[in-house]
Amino acid sequence: MKKLVCFVLASMLAVPAAFAQDRYIADNLFTYMHSGPSNQFRIIGSVDAGDKVKLVSTNRDTGYTEIEDSKGRKGWVESRFVTNRESMALRLPKLEKELAEVKEKLANARSNADQEKAGLIDSLETRNSQINELEQGYSDMSKQLSASQEEVRNLRAKLDTQKDDLLLKYFMYGGGVAGIGLLLGLILPHIIPRRKRSPSGWA
């Protein structure tokens, strides 16, 4: 029986320590630690705002919480001054670090965006220059094509004219030859004397 009672007492003493949880003293506060769960007990020390403490137990009737500070001292403080949120003294460096990281990422993002923007502008200018060159080349080719087509039309017209002239010359030459032949056929018999026929009929 004694062993059972000793075991129960040991368990009761061990439970608060086993269930001790991290807590923080609220910011902007300086409070005293009492030896018992009310301000009627003697003051055994003080804790500063933002200090990290261990929650040992809570007395809901008196509104006091037993804590253990970083020095290993145990005492009671008002429960309303104990919070589960980290103090600003601990959170501020983390927030400042996070803010610095965010600012650095933002600066890098802006730098990358500026570089990408500059690259896009350069690429756009290069494309515009290439398009202008292509348009100029197309315009020159169109002009050359128009000039070539005009030259081909002129050459065809000249060729047709030459064909007509050649045909006219052929007709003129043919008519001249025919006319000369006709004149010769009419004139030569009168110019060349005819031979007299012999009585036998031979010339």
CB-CB neighbours of 82 under 10 Å:
20
> Diameter of the chain by CA atoms?
198
Average pLDDT over residues 36-61: 86
Distant-in-sequence, close-in-space partners of 86: CB < 8 Å, separation ≥ 6: 24
Distant-in-sequence, close-in-space partners of 44: CB < 8 Å, separation ≥ 6: 33, 34, 35, 73, 75
pTM, two decimal places:
0.36
Q: Where are the alpha helices (DSSP H) in the chain?
A: 2-18, 88-191
Query: How far lies 151's CA from each of 56, 143, 159, 200, in Å?
Result: 108, 12, 12, 77
- Give the Cα separation of 146 and 155 in Å (integer): 14
Q: What is the pLDDT of residue 23?
A: 72
> Which CATH architecture group holds 22-86?
Roll (2.30)
- Give the Cα separation of 154 and 144 in Å (integer): 15
Average pLDDT over residues 30-58: 84
Per-residue pLDDT of 104-131, as tens digits, reads 898 889 888 888 888 889 888 888 889 9
pLDDT exceeds 70 at position 32: yes
